[in-house]
Every structure is written in structure tokens, then in C-alpha cells.
Amino acid sequence: MSPLAPAAFPDLPAIDGVEFAAGAAGIKYQGRTDVMLVRLAPGTAIAGAFTRSSTRAACILDCQDKLAGTPDSAAGAAIVVNSGNANAFTGAEGQRGVDAVTGAVAKALGVPAGRVFSSSTGVIGEPLPAERIVAIVDDLRAGLDAGGIADAARAIMTTDTFPKGSAAEIAGDGGPIRIAGIAKGSGMIAPDMATMLVYIFTDASVAPKLLQRMLRKHMDATFNAITVDSDTSTSDALILAATGKSAAAPITDMRGKVARDFQAALGRVMLDLAQQVVRDGEGATKFVEVAVTGAASTGDARKVALSIANSPLVKTALAGEDANWGRVVAAVGKSGAQADRDRLAIRFGDMVLAENGWRAPGYDEGAASAYMKRPELVIGVDLGLGDGRATVWTCDLTHRYIDINADYRS
């Protein structure tokens, strides 16, 4: 279990119109659940965000095609997810596997195949044993339960050490609106998006196009603002489903109070799940916020933040609890962003370590070293050039990361 893990999986609310099941298909490991099925009520609106990798997995391409089309949105829908195999770089066989799995789910649940969305995570380049998933679809259907979200979160884990969940509730116009989400992710984490799968459900009534706008608004500040190892996956997917089953009136105007409250709550759930992914970074012992201010532009601030967060030298210093702020200086310099040595300031927590082009007069090595022993750290950089700012979250790089990834396939 990651030392940064939350104390327990949260008590997530049941979302009216959503049912979950988890089962064991034996895709890679025996004796553990590795398939999740979600049934969504008729009329559910679906939005999504996916990796922009040029070697996207078959299931990602299939989901993107389905969301770009015009399926019967009044019909039911489903999500089916497997761990243990990414079904990526598998040629035409990859799409055949997707079709077999989604087709079996569509038949079992009586929903259009165009409304069945699949995800796969695990080893790249191995054919998906679709027949093993198809063989348990009827059992999954029989086990569907509105209270099964925790088991579903465990079924999608790969190298994760804990299941990830988050929830929020707001007052709608006529009744409460609830949001519950689950995620998996531990390694190969970097924008856009990361090796993660994320499924968020709400009983709000929101049209698909508006739901997509709301999702897109939060992506850069949440799932595209985390990095564990700078590697972008072939298989990242985020699916947001709104069942419309709340007693509250539909959300139709982004300017209204309920819409603004819902948008903020959605953002909180997304950020919580994104940060949990970093807290479960493979081998992680430190959760690190990198906050950059004073950049010439937001884009420059983001370049600097990611350069620091992805630097192996910075990340290994964090693992060794070494207050080596010179590595932060180097990461700023290599970022490609506009920077001026004589305007740069670097902070660890509230301590100013460097400013005006050299070590701060009040620098205290003992205090800085003591700060580095904390499990949660903040690296602050002010470039002194403008109003651009960006924050990303990362973790340290330990030998455990090597242990996990050196023999992942075997």
C-alpha cells in the first residue's frame, strides 16, 4: 500500500440510474477481479476525454468514434472495462476484440452497440483474450448492483495499491444532485492524459454537448496537470455519464447558480481523483505540488512546472530528502520557457531558498533538509516576468519504481 494512500476508500453515494458489477475473467492474473461492467439508464448523456497518443488503443479509437457519432441518446448505455491487457498495438485484431466484447454486452443488456463504451488497461502488444470477457458477461449482468462501485474500482486496478474514489453533492433546483467517480492509475502517468481510467457518474440532467464542455473545462487543471514518470499511455480514458435521474431541474445554462455549483463540484471530484493517482505513483513516498508563478504566459508557466515535475534529478533528490534546489534551477533553465536568472525565486514550502540570481541571504540548510522529510512537499518558483501561473502535481522517483517496471511483462 502506498504510504500516501487515503485511510480508506470513501463511502460513495449510489447514483440513480447506474449499476455496477465486477468479475474475474483471468485475463492476466488468476484469482482476482479484472472486469468491470456498468449499466446506465436510458437517456444517460455521455462525455469523454482520451489520450492524444498517436498509438491509441483500439478501445480508445472506438469510444471516440461512438461519441463523435449520433447514436440514440434515449437508449440505455454501458461501460465495460478490463485490466491486465491494454489491447493496444494489436492491429485489426484489436478492433475485433472490442467488437466482440461490446457486442456481447449490448446483447446481454439490450442496449445499442453504439452505446457500449469499452476500456482496456495493462500490457501493450498482446492480443486481448476477448473470449474470456465474453464468457462472463452474463454473470456480470446478473451481479449488477447500484451499490457495487467499490468492487468496480478494485476490478480496474493494475499496479495500483489502492482503489480510488471521490464524491460530491450539491443542491439542485428541486432536489440534490450527486456525483461519484472512480479511477485507476499508478505508472505511465503524464499529460495527455496519463495511464489512467476514470469513470464519473452523476444523476444530473445535462445535455451531452453541455456535459462535454463542462468536462473539457477542468481537464488542464486536473488530469492534464499530473505526472509520475513523463510517459503518456496508449489507453487513457475518462468517461462522464449523467443519468438525469435527479429530481432537480435540468442544467441548461452555464451561467446559472446550479450550473456553476455543479461545475465546481465536478472539478473537485476530478482533482481529487487526479491527485489520488499521483499519491499511488509507482514507488512514491512523496506527494509534491509544483507551483509556478510570474511567468511570461500560462504556457511558459506550464512548461516550467512540468520540467521540474518530470526531472529525474529533482525527483530522485526528493526521494533522498535532499534539499538540492540547484536541480530546480537546472529544470527551469532547460524548460524552454522565458526565464531571467536575476528575477528567479525558489521556495520549498514557505522557505525562500534562492532569489535575485543567487542563494537567499537567509538560507538555512538545516531547515530545508528538515522540510524535505515531510510526505507532502511544495516547490514554488516565481519567474518575476509576468502573470502566468500553473500548478502540477508529481511524486518522487524511488528504486521501487524500477522494481515494478523492470519486469512488468514477466
* Each residue's pLDDT tens digit, 338-389: 999 999 999 999 999 999 989 999 999 999 999 999 999 999 999 999 999 9
Q: Where are the beta strands (DSSP E) in 124-227?
A: 164-172, 175-185, 196-202
d(CA 302, CA 16): 39
> Can you give 41-97 as a three-state secondary structure string?
CCCCEEEEEECCCCCCCHHHHHHHHHHHCCCCCCCCEEEEEEEEECCCCCHHHHHHH
pLDDT for the residue 194: 47
pLDDT at 264 over 70: yes
- Which residues neighbour 199 within 8 Å (Cβ) at sequence distance 6 or greater? 38, 79, 81, 152, 181, 182, 183, 238, 239, 241
Which one, of 307, 299, 300, 324, lies nearest residue 383 by Cα? 300
Which cell goes with 266?
465536478
pLDDT for the residue 195: 58
Within 143-220, residue ranges assigned H as helices are 149-155, 208-219
- Which residues neighbour 69 within 8 Å (Cβ) at sequence distance 6 or greater? 114
Q: Coil, strand or helix: which one is 165?
A: strand
Active site residue 316: no
Other CB atoms within a 10 A radius of the CB of residue 319 amount to 20
Query: What amino acid is encoded at 339 in this protein?
Result: A
User: What tens digit of pLDDT does each residue of 167-225 get?
Assistant: 999 999 999 999 999 999 875 444 454 458 999 999 999 999 999 999 999 999 999 99
pLDDT at 73 over 90: no
Which cell goes with 190?
503524464
Mean pLDDT of 80-90: 93
pLDDT for the residue 405: 74
d(CA 21, CA 118): 14
Mean pLDDT of 262-267: 98
pTM of the full structure:
0.94
Backbone angles phi, psi at 281, to 5 degrees: -55, 140
User: Which one from 90, 102, 195, 232 is the annotated catalytic residue?
Assistant: 195
When pLDDT is cut at 50, 70 and 90, the band that residue 77 belongs to is: very high
Which cell goes with 279?
499519491
For the chain, the distance separating the N- and C-terminal CA atoms, rounded to the nearest angstrom, is: 21
Average pLDDT, the chain: 93
d(CA 355, CA 378): 17
pLDDT for the residue 303: 96
Distance of CA 135 to the CA centre of its chain: 29
- CB crowding 259-283: b at 16 or more within 10 Å, else e: bebbbebbbbbbbbbbbbbbbbbbb
| Lowest mean pLDDT across 35-39, 49-53, 143-147, 353-357 | 49-53
Query: Pick the residue with more confidence: 40 or 74?
Result: 40
